[in-house]
A = this chain, B = another copy of it.
Amino acid sequence: MDYSNFISQLLKGNPRAAARLITFIENDIDAAEEIINSIYGHTGNAYILGITGAPGTGKSTFISTLIKIYVEQGKKIGIICVDPSSPLTGGALLGDRIRMKQYFSLDNVFIRSMANRGQLGGLARATEDVIKILDAYGCDIIIIETVGVGQSEVDIFKSAQTVVVLLVPGLGDDIQAIKSGIMEITDIFVVNKMDLPGADKKVSEIMQMLEFRKNYKYDSKDISEKYAKIELWTPEITKVNSKIGENFDELLELIQKHKSFLEESGVISNYMKNRITNETIQILKHKLTEKVEELLSSDKEIGKYIDQAIQKSLDPYSMANLIIKMLGLEKE
């Protein structure tokens, strides 16, 4: 298929072309390869914000308020709502998307939901490609919203310059829930619904958690990748009330502060390197898996290995090692 017309429309800022190209990219990894190849030179201008929080932390009101402010500043915004836990499109995310859409004109705000439908190359790969589409489309800021917690979110947030995590007063489990990987890559903690009792308590809980973290020797790859050998960014904490926009000026300052930190410290080059590395790994995983599947179904030698494994004389790990040898990729 020829995507050049869609691509030239995309670069002119046509939202329908963006939507179509995203669909191609999600459904077909070969299309993704071709499209990304064509638009890659036009990317790199958007600032990417990752936003997450447990259900009930008011993510969509928060994001709506944030968008409203950015749009008033004349910015063009892309929002990608990613739900790694759901194989179904729709549900809460789609509801939010529709609710959000009512507030904004399509010219300045582009919203897209993505669910985990077993995309070839994975959801993180697809999300990264959608970011590039919206970047080439001309978005100044791209917000990646994810629900839930887990390794998938961590992978997806490797694409974000700044990661914001929402918490709310009272909800006791939320700090616990974000401890698994996301916490280590969070740049700004936001206590939403600051009008509720317990907002300050939540702030001090976060501070305690960060204090604990400071004293804890990391071997986490995620954080060392991002901030390697450079003085760590100390995560900022703020409180907001998204319903009335209270304290968003401070929040925006903190986002700006983190952005400046990344540039001035040179951490931004680590970020770019890691982002590209991570992306390439996702793509390579897919390509190598394809290769291996092909081999496993057609190679006669491997057919013999499979028979041996069925007869219990060769276990799957040893078989994997033999195949790696066959591929000329022996472990030194």
Q: Which residues of A contact B (CB under 8 A)?
A: 32-33, 36-37, 40-41, 43-44, 85-88, 116-118, 149-151, 177, 180-181, 269, 272-273, 276-277, 279-281, 283-285, 287-289, 291-293, 296-297, 306, 309-310, 312-313, 315-321, 323-324, 327-329, 331
Contacts and interface: CB of A to CB of B under 8 A. Distances in A.
B306 A273 contact: yes
B317 A33 contact: yes
A46 to B, nearest CB: 13
Of A36, A283, A306, most B-chain CB atoms within 10 Å: A283
B116 A151 contact: yes
A283 B181 contact: no
A54 to B, nearest CB: 12
Contact of A312 (B43, B273, B306): B43
A177 B283 contact: no
Nearest to A297: B277
28 contacts: A32-B317, A36-B317, A37-B317, A37-B318, A41-B312, A87-B180, A118-B150, A269-B310, A272-B310, A276-B306, A276-B309, A277-B296, A277-B297, A277-B306, A280-B309, A280-B316, A280-B323, A281-B293, A284-B288, A284-B292, A284-B323, A285-B285, A285-B288, A285-B289, A287-B320, A287-B324, A291-B324, A327-B327
A86 B180 CA distance: 11
Interface SS of A by simple majority: helix
B329 A288 contact: yes
A313 to B, nearest CB: 8
A312 B132 CA distance: 12
A321 B290 CA distance: 13
Contacts of A88: 177, 180
Nearest to A317: B33
A292 B288 contact: yes
Contacts of A293: 281
A75 B151 CA distance: 38
B312 A44 contact: yes
Given A87-B180, A285-B292, 19 more contacts: A32-B317, A36-B316, A43-B312, A85-B85, A86-B150, A116-B151, A118-B150, A118-B181, A269-B310, A273-B310, A276-B310, A280-B320, A283-B317, A283-B320, A284-B288, A285-B288, A291-B329, A327-B327, A327-B328
